[in-house]
Structures are given as structure tokens and as C-alpha cells.
Amino acid sequence: MSPLAVRNPYDNADDDDARSGEGDDGPSVVDRPLLTEIDHVAIAVHDLGDAIDTYRETFGAVVEHREVVESDGVEEALLRVAESYVQLLTPTSEDSPVAKYLERKGEGVHHIAYRVESCAEALAAVKAQGHAVIDEEPRPGSRGTTVAFIHPKAICGTLIELVEE
């Protein structure tokens, strides 16, 4: 079997060994896909106006929503891409986590946000599997959404946001 075949995520129909701790036909912790869509890819930027101009001039992108989220110390602009968004994100204060991110890493992808049916349910599933989370409970996000962040060290080095619309 080639190395690629071993890693093929679709080739696990009779591969019980790949799922640790499960016997034959045993109940899975998660019995259906919890992530229904990509809600947004968030990109940390120094200057929101400049970043919006760049996306508009380069890609013809249109800002669909803009909001200051005081509790997170950020201002965001959402640019629609099909059913998802690119979220340009800039800090509104020096002690904002995004300000610290820009200081350490510069501009770039900050987090991936996945849509879920129920933020509480998805967060509970993540916690039940022992993954570190940033938000112990769902909380209000922008656009009237309910969100929770999972720690970047928990799952594949990515800061993940769960978004319930």
C-alpha cells in the first residue's frame, strides 16, 4: 500500500484500528459531522482600510459587514466569498490578542471559523475529548452569532472558532 493510500481519509470503512479506543461498531463520541461549513477565514492586518482596498482592487471584493467587537479588542470587515467570508481583522487596542499576534507573527491567517448547528454541543464534544479550549462556554460573537474558540495547541496548530448563526 502506498503512503498516500495509508493517509487517505476516505479509506477507513473497515479500519477500526485507526480510531483509538473503539471496538467494533462501538458508539463514536461524535456520531455525525459537526462542522457544517466554513464560516470565515480570519486574517490579521495592521490597517483595516488598506486591507479592504487591497481586496477590493485585487479581487473586486465587497465589504458585506463591518463591526467593532469591543470585548475582543478588534474591528472586523467581512468580505463574502460564496457562502463563506474572508474576515479582515485589526486590533482596536494595544493589549488586544490580535495586536499581540501581529507583533509576534506579522500579518497573516489568524483563525479558521467553522459553522456548527449548535455551538454548545460542538464545544462540549471538543471538551469531552480532552482538548484545550479558550472559551469554556459559548459567548456572543459578531453579527449576532454565538461563538467559542478552541486553543490553537489543541487541534493541528490552528486557532479554531465555532460559529452558530
Beta carbon nearer to Co ion, 114 or 125: 114
Q: Decide if residue 42 touches Co ion (CB under 5 A).
A: yes
CB 147, CB 139: distance < 8 Å:
yes
Distance CA 124, CA 48 (A): 34
Least distance between Co ion and beta carbon 53 (Å): 21
Whole-angstrom Cα Rg for the chain: 18
Look at residue 16 and give its three-state secondary structure.
helix
Beta carbon nearer to Co ion, 11 or 37: 37
CB 97, CB 111: distance < 8 Å:
no
Least distance between Co ion and beta carbon 129 (Å): 22
Least distance between Co ion and beta carbon 38 (Å): 11
Q: Decide if residue 161 touches Co ion (CB under 5 A).
A: yes
Hunting for cell 482538548 — which residue is that? 131
The three cell numbers of residue 76 are 472586523
Look at residue 132 and give its three-state secondary structure.
coil
**Local structure of residue 151 (DSSP, 8 states):** P
Q: Decide if residue 78 touches Co ion (CB under 5 A).
A: no
Q: Decide if residue 44 touches Co ion (CB under 5 A).
A: no
Q: Where are the alpha helices (DSSP H) in the chain?
A: 3-7, 48-59, 97-105, 119-128
Tell me phi and psi for residue 51, to 5 degrees: -65, -40
Q: Decide if residue 77 touches Co ion (CB under 5 A).
A: no
Least distance between Co ion and beta carbon 105 (Å): 17
Q: Decide if residue 113 touches Co ion (CB under 5 A).
A: yes
Beta carbon nearer to Co ion, 6 or 68: 68
Q: Which stretch binds Co ion (CB under 5 A): 16-24, 51-59, 112-120, 125-133?
A: 112-120
Least distance between Co ion and beta carbon 82 (Å): 17
Residues in contact with Co ion by the rule CB under 5 A: 42, 113, 161
